[in-house]
Amino acid sequence: MGGTIEGRFKVRRMKANARERNRMHGLNDALESLRKVVPCYSKTQKLSKIETLRLAKNYIWALSEVLRSGKAPDLMNFVQALCKGLSQPTTNLVAGCLQLNPRTFLPEQTPDLPAHLPPAGAAAYPGHYSYQSPGLTAGLPSPPYGTMDPSHIFHQVKGQPYGSLEPFFDGVMVSEAPPFDPPLSPPLSINGNFSSSFKHEVMAPADYDKSFAFSVHYGAGAAGGHNAMYASGGTNPRCSEMQVDGLMGFDGHTHHERLMNAQLNAIFHES
DNA sequence: TAGGCCATCTGGTCCT
DNA sequence: AGGACCAGATGGCCTA
């Protein structure tokens, strides 16, 4: 009874396959949950599994470092920590989440700079222990993973007039970037208060090819902040929409969004 | 077309 | 014995 040995083996194998499928689906569901809570989440531009894990690790590390130091982080250092070891598209995605130009927080590679020098951001928090992404250590895959070489970060920029925008402070540029998908991930809240309704936006890497500049959506409350995103001026037409003092009031942002902008602003500028 | 990413199948190992 | 877990193999899809 029960059929032939071969038949029973087939049934057993099919059951095992089904279980394995379900198991992998569960694993993927968990990974999807993780995608939604790391800084960048876009329905259209999904992080790969490995990039999700890397970004999550960096995020945890960065938040831990904030807690450990008890200080508000510098935005650029924070983003650098987030992007360590990530591939170029993911780095661009993270930058897009923060409306940053990746070029502004990645190391410039000048001809004078020896290639073996540690990447900028390897000691994102001076005075603290320096962090090395696994991708930057031996035994792990080399590029595109595990390198922050700006040459590969930006090699997708195809002959755009990028340099002309760069003088717009040294941190953030504004842009006329196309609309993003509203991400569902929580904002980069480094004080432990996740603002679930905060709206930040993701630019698909494909869009970065068209324009490597990001609109500034985070508030401009603190005067005299060292971060470029809080100043106005520059050559970009969107600059005229920015306000140095008080909450930013452009693009029809809601009161709630402005409050959130102020919160983020406070996070990055309290000292 | 090559390379990256993914889902699925499969056999091995360990645990209950 | 059966299930969970793991890693290798394979083929499909997509993009540069």
pTM for the full predicted model: 0.52
Instruction: From the CA of A87 to the C1' of B3: give the distance in Å.
Output: 15
Contact residues for A200 (Cβ-Cβ < 8 A; gap 6+): A97, A98, A99, A183, A187, A188, A217, A218
Instruction: From the CA of A5 to the C1' of C3: give the distance in Å.
Output: 20
Residue nearest to nucleotide B8 (CA to C1'): A21
- DSSP track, A197-253: T----B--HHHHHH-------S---STT-SSGGG---SS-GGGGG--SSSS---TT-
Task: Return the closest nucleotide (C1') to the Cα of A17.
Answer: B9
Contact residues for A32 (Cβ-Cβ < 8 A; gap 6+): none
pLDDT tens sequence across A164-218: 222 222 333 333 333 334 444 554 544 333 333 333 333 333 333 333 333 323 3
Residues by CB within 7 A of strand C: list them: A 12, 15-16, 19-20, 23, 205-206
Contact residues for A251 (Cβ-Cβ < 8 A; gap 6+): A217, A241
pLDDT tens sequence across A90-113: 888 777 777 676 666 665 433 333
The answer to whether A235 touches A165, Cβ cutoff 8 Å, is yes
Paired strand residues for A181: A202
Residue A86 has φ and ψ, to the nearest 5°, of: -85, 155
